[in-house]
Chain A
Amino acid sequence: AQSVAQPEDQVNVAEGNPLTVKCTYSVSGNPYLFWYVQYPNRGLQFLLKYITGDNLVKGSYGFEAEFNKSQTSFHLKKPSALVSDSALYFCAVRDIEDSNYQLIWGAGTKLIIKP
């Protein structure tokens, strides 16, 4: 069965420090991987995606993520956290063989950046 795991409900980071939000996945075929961010009372905003090519992908607001096929992971990273990065982050995966283009979503990780 296809699934996405975000093992941490909450991640706390001091402002200026690097941050990592973890995501692992399970699909039967090759994955397309996505990260979204959700600010309070807002819809989800697309951050970045991995489709093919370079395992390190860069996205909005200085975020990047590294696709690791052997570890089936797609961790979200940022070199220097900002207080404004505090939000709810969702990882999602789509099986390349899925003709319906549906996303399988993780449960979300709350990121708290402390001044």
Chain B
Amino acid sequence: EAGVAQSPRYKIIEKRQSVAFWCNPISGHATLYWYQQILGQGPKLLIQFQNNGVVDDSQLPKDRFSAERLKGVDSTLKIQPAKLEDSAVYLCASSSTSGRGYEQYFGPGTRLTVT
């Protein structure tokens, strides 16, 4: 079974530029999550999708961050314009929603450096 795919793995941009990250979840997983992980901290949920609908985006900085999952499969997270404090690893995860006990499976992450 293929895991969660993310690209790119690394990205370096200057502040005020824009950047986009892509995620393809495990086949059949209806729930998709985007997390931000700052060095030395636990993951922070940015947005959660159930199929192509948003379940929770309360911690997404909507003035600069946007995300979509148009066909209920892969997803894109965009930052525009980027700030220095956006430097972090962006993790995508997916899970089945057949039961609340199902674990999340994570991709390798995208390490973003904003200079």
A residues lining the B interface (CB < 8 Å): 32, 34, 36, 41-46, 49, 51-52, 90, 94, 96, 98, 100-103, 105-108
Contacts and interface: CB of A to CB of B under 8 A. Distances in A.
B101 interface: yes
B103 interface: yes
User: Nearest 8 CB-CB pairs, A to B?
Assistant: A105-B42, A43-B106, A51-B101, A44-B106, A46-B103, A43-B108, A43-B109, A107-B42
Interface of B: 4, 6, 31, 40-45, 48, 55-56, 91, 93, 95, 97, 100-109, 111
14 contacts: A32-B101, A43-B4, A43-B91, A43-B109, A44-B43, A46-B104, A49-B101, A51-B101, A52-B101, A100-B55, A101-B31, A105-B43, A107-B42, A108-B42
Contacts of A44: 43, 91, 93, 106
A101 B103 contact: no
Contacts of A34: 103
B70 to A, nearest CB: 21
Contacts of A32: 100-101
Contacts of B45: 102-103
Contacts of B100: 32, 94, 96, 98, 101
Contacts of A36: 106
